Each structure stands twice: as C-alpha cells, then as structure tokens.
Amino acid sequence: MSDRTSVRSRRRWVVALALLVLVALGAVLAPWLAPIDPNFQGDVVANRFLAPGTIGLDGAVHLLGTDRLGRDVWSRLLYGARVSLLVGTLATAVALTVGTLIGGVAALAGRPVRVLLLGVTDFTLAVPRVVLLLLLAAVWQPSAELVVLTLGLTGWMPIARLVYAESSAQLGRPYVESAVALGARPSRVFLRHLLPHATGPVLAAATLGLGNAITLEAGLSFLGLGVQPPQASWGSLIASGRETVVNAPWVGLAPGLALVLVVIACTIVADDLGHEHPHA
C-alpha cells in the first residue's frame, strides 16, 4: 500500500471514528441537546408536518421539522439514537461474550466437545438470521430487551469461529506448550496467551457486527417487532415517515440518513482494524 493510499485510508478512519463519537455524544447529551420532549405533541393540528427550520407556536425552532403528530423530529432523532446505539452495543456485547466463550472452549477442549461446539456454530450459521430474528420476535412480546437478546444470540457465530481459529493457531507455539507444561490452567492459558492474539480480528468483527445490529434493530422496529412506540428508535422513525415521503420527506429522511452514515462509519472502522490485523 502506497503512502498516499495509507494517508487517505487513515483520514477515512479518523472521519468515520469522529462521526461515531459525535453520534454517541449526541445520544448521551440528548436531554440537553433536544429542544422539546420527544413525545410532546401540543396542538397537533397546528404543529403537524412543520418544515425544517420552522418556529412553532410554542416559540421552539424545529430544526428538522415535525411529524404527523406534531412531535419534533430532531428531538426524536437524538432520543432514537440513544435506543438504537444502546441496543446495538448491548447486542454486540452479548455476541462478543458468547462467541469468545464458545470459541475458546472449542479450542482448548477435547475432540468430542470441540466437534459438538463447532457443529452447533456451523448449524446456527446456516440458519438465515433474519428469519430466526422474525421468528423469535413474533413468539414473544416485542421489547428492547428482546431485541438485544435475539440480536446477541444470533450474532455470536462469526466471533466464535475467529476466536477458535486464532486460538488453535497459537496452541502449538512453544510458549503455550511451556505454559501448559508448567501446569497453567486452561482458563489462564486462554486469557493470558491465546485471547490477546485474537483481540484484533475479534474487535474488527465486533465493530462490523455493531453496524449490522443497529441495522437489524432498525428493521425489526420498522416492522413493529422491535422497540415499541411511543419510544423512539431510528427504525420506528423511518417507519413513521414511510407514508409521508411526498408531503413531509424529512420525517423519514433524517433517521434514514443517520442510520446509513453510522453503518458506513462502522464498516470503515472495522475495515481499518482488519487491515491492521491481517489474520482478521
């Protein structure tokens, strides 16, 4: 890779990371950055479908306009970011924990356990994730907690495969064999000697998985199987704007653009991590 290409790639990574940080800060500071309560309606007839930048009857400036119930789109976008990012992050944490545990046990356990765990991983990978998500979401009452669990428990397989591959590659190294010969417990061998070598690829996969989790959460909420109204999430905001594309396009455009930018930023950051760690 040439120096110019490397500099351009580094700039893209910095911009993508800065965007993710700004979105996260916006979500955390939503109570101070949002001019109006995200669920406040007021005079629905007078405030519905106000264009971006319009000053409402209450004197508040609606930066991104209002929706069909007169609610401020900017406020709902910020509070929706809190829900979408939190759900995506927690789901990724669940997938990371389960995947690391299963991959590590498969690498260190005997052949029967290894074959069983890898078989379960491959079988779960073969099941279409979207179909499984829709099935789980349809069986139980939709909620943010259910979305976190379903996304996390259907996204651990690539991480388990990565942890297993990286750990298995290190098992034959002299320093690992020395640790085993000295009586180190399997958990210590894994945490001290194997897991550090898998950290880079796993972080890259987790960052990419974060973008996927946010997208899937938005899809479930769009279908009414995720976060339930009146609580705002980017998926529910996009769903509320699908019927007003012609007369009020800003209602669905703002959360849709935010979702696209965050997913692209996650992809760029993950791609950079993958290049820094070729084994990813």
Structure confidence by residue, pLDDT tens digits, 178-227: 777 777 787 788 878 788 888 888 888 888 889 888 888 888 887 777 77
Residues 161, 176, 171, 159, Cα dihedral to 10°: 0
Residue 118 has pLDDT above 50, yes or no: yes
What is residue 4's predicted lDDT score, i.e. its pLDDT? 61
What is residue 203's predicted lDDT score, i.e. its pLDDT? 87
Q: Identity (one letter) of the amino acid at 110?
A: G
The model's pTM is 0.85
What is residue 261's predicted lDDT score, i.e. its pLDDT? 93
Question: Rounded distance, CA 233 to CA 278, Å?
Answer: 36
Q: Supply 200's token pair.
A: 């880079």
Residue 239 has pLDDT above 80, yes or no: yes
Burial profile 215-254: b = 16 or more Cβ within 10 angstroms, e = fewer: bbbbbbbbbebbbeeebbbbbbbbbbbeebeeebebbbbb
Q: Supply 49's token pair.
A: 């479908």
Question: Rounded distance, CA 265 to CA 261, Å?
Answer: 6
Helix (H) or strand (E) holding 256: helix 250-276
Question: Rounded distance, CA 213 to CA 226, Å?
Answer: 12
Which residue in 161, 189, 157, 188 sits closest to 173, CA to CA?
189
12-52 residue pLDDT tens:
889 999 999 999 999 999 999 988 888 888 778 888 888 88
- Residue 278 binned pLDDT confidence (cut-offs 50, 70, 90): very low
pLDDT > 70 in the chain, percent: 95
Question: Rounded distance, CA 121 to CA 153, Å?
Answer: 11
Q: How many CA atoms lie within 13 A of 186 on its CB side?
A: 9
44-85 residue pLDDT tens:
888 888 888 888 877 788 889 889 888 899 999 999 999 899
Which residue in 243, 278, 218 sits closest to 84, CA to CA?
218
Of 72-86, 93-107, 163-177, least confident by mean pLDDT is 163-177
What is residue 280's predicted lDDT score, i.e. its pLDDT? 38
State mean pLDDT over 151-155: 87
